[in-house]
């Protein structure tokens, strides 16, 4: 019986071919696969010698032939018909397709990309997958050892079905990439989001909800590429909170620390060192940080790890950990340590699920602000630094959102309130007397001047907000009366 090999990805090809020979298969191959097997000294038949028809049109047609497809599609009960036609069965098909996604991602031109659209490969894979009760369709080099073992023991129906499923998923994802490329649109008439399961999760947000982690095919993400250095497996909620933490800490160039609880920051701070940043983030809300997630944008050292030992945490994320820090953290076996290799930067599409549909939008990664002072008083140099710090933080807080900061440290955060005044009241009451001389950021404009007047009562010295309300003049007038500086950004950061 024949095994047909035609692979773009040649990982594991030679051991697999040798294993097929050992279990009694004859090798059949195309183009580059044939050359690789010949150079390795393996007995192999060229596809054109098998079909009796030469490769034509610069290789565009080589496997689209009745001898190939009849050999793949013949059911066991059609063996006599196959033999009567002088044809032979192909029992194993190993195919992976031209690297279309990689070619396009590399900036290939239109005609070069067209040439990377595989025709024969998907046709053969689909044929073999349809007839998987008689043929083993193999599209993943990682499966080669399992295929050889199955051939020695006798492939089970379950294993055959698994290979067929993978083959159809492989060709479906391939076609989805081509269709999306041909559309040339960010939001095409049909949007194909191909997801590949990374791992099952113990449960979702709550124990009665099933859950799993999936990767978007063709995309990279900091958490998906992160190395888990210690601790239990990440949970559904851990991933959500860790993503929120990493997105926020990636906003800063200075040493920064972010503490997250339920996808909202409880404390954010800058420092001359990671230890100073952590202490300030902890002091911003020493209650809410308990059971939370902490992220750093610098390597974590031993003294910082020692300081963190005083509080229970679920996850710590950082671009690195010193050996001293790892030794300290190892005392807490359940603490998850994630070494994250790159910051959360760049544009991507944000997806929100509806029953029967989805909403897609550009993620709020850009911040094209042009700050404009709209009051008689302008912010001081120190106030400007805190205003811009607060503005970065408020972007990552659920609306309605208010953030109070001073000296590169959050003092109070108003999260997810149904009105802006309530959010401001919560943030300012959390800050208490520390609000004196601090600044305040709002994710959206003030519909009335009440937040400005409340800020004045607590001693806030400067405010940053998008502006754009029909009552902006009321807020500006109130700020001038109270001697506050106020800056409009012209950009809103709703986060629902």
Q: What does DSSP say about strands 485-488 and 372-373: parallel, antiparallel, or unpaired? A: antiparallel
SS3 sequence of the chain: CEEEEEECCCCCHHHHHHHHHHCCCEEEECHHHHHHHHHCCCCCEEHHHHHCCCCECCCCECCCCHHHHHHHHCCHHHHHHHHHCCCCCEEEEEEECCCHHHHHHCCCCHHHHHHCCCCHHHHHHHHHHHCCCCCEEECCHHHHHHHHHHHHHCCCHHHHHHHHHHHHHHHHHHHHHHHHHHHCCCCCCCCCCCEEEEEEECCCCCCCCCEEEEEECCCCCHHHHCEEEECCCCCHHHHHHHHHHHHHHCCCCCCEEEEEECCEEEEEEECCCHHHHHHHHHHHCCCCCCCEEEEECCCECHHHHHHHCCCCEEEEEECCECHHHHHHHCCCCCCEEEECCCCCCCCCEEEEEECCEEEEEECCCCCCCCCEECCCECCCHHHHHHHHHHHHHHCCCCCCCEEEECCCEEEEEECCCCCHHHHHHHHHHHHHHHHCCCEEEECCCCCCCHHHHHHHHCCCCEEEECCCCCCHHHHHHHHHHHCCEEEECCCCCCCC
* Contact partners, residue 210, CB within 8 Å, separation at least 6: 203, 204
The residue from 130, 191, 232, 332 that is catalytic is 130
* Contact partners, residue 333, CB within 8 Å, separation at least 6: 230, 231
The residue from 166, 232, 262, 332 that is catalytic is 262
Residue 62 falls in the annotated catalytic set: no
Residue 130 falls in the annotated catalytic set: yes
Q: Which residues are designated catalytic?
A: 130, 262
């Amino acid at each position: 019986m024949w095994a047909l090999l035609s692979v773009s990805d040649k990982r594991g090809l030679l051991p697999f071919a040798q294993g097929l020979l050992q279990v009694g298969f004859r090798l059949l191959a195309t183009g580059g696969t044939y050359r690789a097997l010949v150079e390795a000294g393996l007995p192999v038949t060229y596809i054109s010698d098998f079909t009796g028809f030469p490769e034509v049109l610069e290789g565009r047609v080589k496997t689209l032939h009745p001898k190939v497809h009849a050999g793949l599609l013949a059911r066991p009960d059609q063996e006599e018909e196959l033999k009567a036609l002088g044809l032979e069965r192909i029992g194993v098909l190993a195919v992976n397709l031209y690297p279309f996604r990689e070619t396009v991602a590399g900036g290939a031109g239109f005609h070069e990309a067209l040439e990377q659209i595989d025709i024969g490969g998907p046709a053969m894979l689909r044929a073999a997958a349809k007839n998987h009760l008689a043929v083993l369709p193999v599209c993943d080099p990682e499966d080669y050892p399992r295929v050889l073992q199955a051939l020695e023991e006798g492939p089970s129906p379950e294993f055959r079905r698994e290979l067929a499923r993978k083959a159809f998923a492989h060709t479906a994802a391939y076609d989805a990439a081509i269709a999306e490329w041909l559309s040339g649109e960010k939001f095409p008439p049909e949007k194909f989001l191909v997801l590949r399961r990374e791992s099952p999760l113990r449960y979702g947000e709550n124990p009665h909800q099933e859950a799993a982690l999936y990767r978007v095919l063709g995309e990279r993400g900091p958490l998906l590429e992160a190395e888990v250095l210690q601790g239990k497996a990440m949970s559904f909620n851990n991933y959500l909170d860790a993503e929120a933490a990493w997105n926020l800490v990636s906003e800063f160039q200075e040493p920064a620390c972010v503490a997250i609880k339920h996808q909202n920051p409880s404390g954010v701070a800058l420092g001359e060192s990671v230890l100073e940043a952590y202490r300030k983030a902890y002091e911003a809300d020493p209650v809410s940080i308990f059971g939370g997630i902490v992220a750093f944008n610098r390597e974590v050292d031993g003294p910082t790890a020692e300081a963190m030992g005083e509080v229970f945490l679920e996850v710590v994320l950082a671009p690195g950990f010193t050996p001293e820090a790892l030794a300290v953290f190892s005392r807490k076996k359940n603490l998850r340590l994630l070494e994250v290799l790159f910051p959360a930067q760049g544009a991507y599409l944000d997806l929100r699920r509806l029953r029967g549909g989805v909403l897609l939008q550009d993620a709020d990664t850009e911040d094209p602000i042009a700050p404009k002072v709209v009051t008689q008083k302008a912010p001081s140099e120190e106030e400007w630094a805190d205003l811009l710090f607060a503005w970065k933080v408020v972007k990552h807080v659920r609306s309605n959102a208010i953030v109070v900061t001073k000296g590169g440290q959050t003092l109070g955060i108003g999260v997810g309130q149904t009105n802006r005044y309530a959010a401001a009241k919560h943030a300012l009451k959390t800050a208490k007397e520390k609000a004196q001389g601090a600044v305040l950021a709002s994710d959206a404009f003030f519909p009335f001047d009440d937040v400005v007047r409340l800020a004045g009562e607590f001693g806030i010295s400067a405010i940053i907000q998008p502006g754009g309300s029909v009552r902006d003049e009321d807020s500006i007038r109130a700020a001038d009366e109270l001697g506050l500086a106020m800056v409009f950004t012209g950009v809103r950061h709703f986060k629902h």
